[in-house]
Every structure is written in C-alpha cells, then in structure tokens.
Homo-oligomer: A and B are copies of this chain.
Amino acid sequence: MATVTGESSKNGAAQNLMEKAPWTDEQGIAMKVYNGIALALEILVLYIKMTATWLHCLYQLVVPPEPKSVNGEIIMITGAGHGMGRETALRFARLGGTIVCVDINPTGNQETVDLIKEQKGKAHRFECDVTDREAINVLAEKIRREVGEVTMLVNNAGIMPCKPLLQTSEKEIRASFEVNILAHLWLLQAFLPSMMERNHGHIVAMSSMAGVVGLRNLVPYCATKFAVRGLMEALHEELREDKLKDYSGIKLTVICPYIVDTGLCKNPKIKFPSLMKILTPQEAADSIVDAVRRNYYEITIPSSLYYINMICRAFPRAVPLYLKDFLDSGLEAHT
C-alpha cells in the first residue's frame, strides 16, 4: 500500500522526523515516549472539552441562551410572499429588522410588504426567480444600492412535488433541485462574501423533516432537503475550520419542519395529532425566529422530533422503521 505509507509520512511531523533522522536507539525511545505523552495529553484535553460541552448543552436545555436582537439587521427572505416566508418576515419586522422580501410572485410579495408596513415595519419588495443565477447577481447589486448589505439570509423558497418517483417528470425533478438547493448555493455565493468581510451575518436554510428521514412520494424532494443539510454542515465546517480568518460571527441555522399547512402538503396523514400535529405557518415561524435569535444550529418543528430522530439514528436501522410504521404518518400522492 504505497499510498498509505506515502501519506502517513507526509503527515505527523514527529513521525516524519523519526523516519528520516539518524537517531540513536535511546533518542528513538525518548521520542516515542514523548509522542505517547503528547497524544495522551491531547486525548485528556479532548475528553475534558467534550464533557464540558455536554454539560453546557444540558444546562442550555434548562436555561436556553438569551435571544439576540435583530434590530437594524437587513434580513432577506426568499419566498416571502407566502406561508412560512411571510410569517417569518412579519415577525422579524416586528423585532426591528429591515426585511428584503424576495419572491417570484409579485402579488403575494406586495401583500407581505403591505402587512409589514401596516404594523409600522420596514420592508422592501424585490421580484426575482432565485433559480436564475444571473438574475441573483443583478438582484444583489440592486439590494446593495437601494437597501444596504444583507446581514441575514433566509433561504426559504421551496417546492414539493408529491408523487411516486416513477410518476415524477424530469421537469418536476429539475425544478425541485433548482429551487430547493441550487438557489441556496447561488444566493450564498452572492451574499456570503460581505458577511465574511465583516465577520457578521446569519444564514438560515429551510430543510425539512424529509431532509432528516426518507419518506415515500417524496424521493426527489427528500434528496434536495438532505442536500440542504449537507450544504449547511459543510459550510459550517468551511467557516469554522478556516485558518486565516475568524468567521465565528457568522451563524448558521437549519430548519426542519414536519408538516406545515402552507398549501405544499396536499394529503397529509397524521395518526396521533397530539404528538405530531400539522403546524400552521404562524407556529412554524415562531419556532424559526426563536431558533435564529438563539443561534441554534439545527431545529426540528416540533422539537420533539429532534430527540426522537437523534435516538433512533443510534439504533440499527430496522428498529426505528417499526416506530415509523406505528406512528403511520406521511403524505399521500397528489390525486
């Protein structure tokens, strides 16, 4: 295995030295002891850090972090003309944010702006097809000129064809990917750089419980919503692990709602409505705004599903499938 040897000697500086330098036996042993102690110390520090973080997380379950102010932030929301996008916009406006409402549908979008202005909030309307990358660049320039630098980006716009995979058309599949995931990437490329320059910002991405668990009649949709979680986790690491600059001022939040009554879900099926009820966009938006203000990385709505999923993922796969069958909920195909 030439590659492995090659790689291992490329890394681990001490190891490297040992292989090449003309050490005496005693020096070699001393080096090994030194490396052993260094590694043991590293593991000890790791253990302490992990334990402290565990305790901190448990503490936060009881005493959640204080919600931050969004007063003065410029908050751009895609799909603001409807459902959760609109409700989130209204809430952020009430908290003093300047809302940049983006939607492909000017009527709904104008309604949202009017509703915000009625409650004495600040809002701007921009029409844009977020799947058109060139249009996004034009939009970004226009917002910069007319409103200012966007400091919070809420990637909310989404579509959900609901039918068996073999009945889903190429057009529907491509549209799902364009709106649900590729648009996130284009918008990040347009709005992240100014956040990085000032180490201040917040990216919010709408995934779904269908981005956490695979569900029938939603094969391409699940793929796009899993993709959102992958994108956000990778971006989180890219910002966190950057060695040249500190980006700890840029926060990321992934939202995974279960069934929200926004018109996307045509035939929801709920066996235990008290445990997993269909949410209104208002309820979902309350959770979204709360999660963003507390800088949570990922939430499910309702939050109980977060813990259920965390525990189930530690089981062998076949075990939670029985629980899923028992709970017996999901979406029927469009009729």
Binding site for B on A (CB under 8 A): 1, 3-4, 7-8, 11-12, 42-43, 46, 49-50, 53-54, 56-57, 133, 164-166, 170, 173-174, 177, 181-182, 185-186, 188-189, 192-193, 196, 210-211, 213-238, 240-242, 261, 268-271, 273, 277-278, 280, 297-298, 310-311, 313-319, 321-324, 326, 330
Contacts and interface: CB of A to CB of B under 8 A. Distances in A.
Copy total for this chain: 2
B280 A1 contact: yes
Contacts of A268: 7
Looking at A188, A241, A298, A324, the one whose CB has the most chain B CB atoms below 10 A away is A241
A50 B189 contact: no
Given A3-B278, A7-B268, A12-B271, A238 B217 contact: yes
Kindly list the 10 A-B residue pairs having the minimum CB-CB distance in the complex, ordered from nearest.
A214-B233, A226-B230, A214-B234, A57-B316, A222-B234, A8-B273, A227-B227, A216-B238, A223-B227, A222-B230
A165 B3 contact: no
Contacts of A271: 11-12
Given A7-B268, A273-B7, A278-B3, A223 B228 contact: yes
Interface SS majority for chain A:
helix
Contacts of A234: 210, 214-216, 218-219, 221-223
Contact of A322 (B49, B186, B188): B49
Interface centre among A50, A236, A311 (most CB of B within 10 A): A50
A222 B233 contact: yes
B227 A224 contact: yes
B238 A231 contact: no
B261 A165 contact: no
A317 B313 CA distance: 14
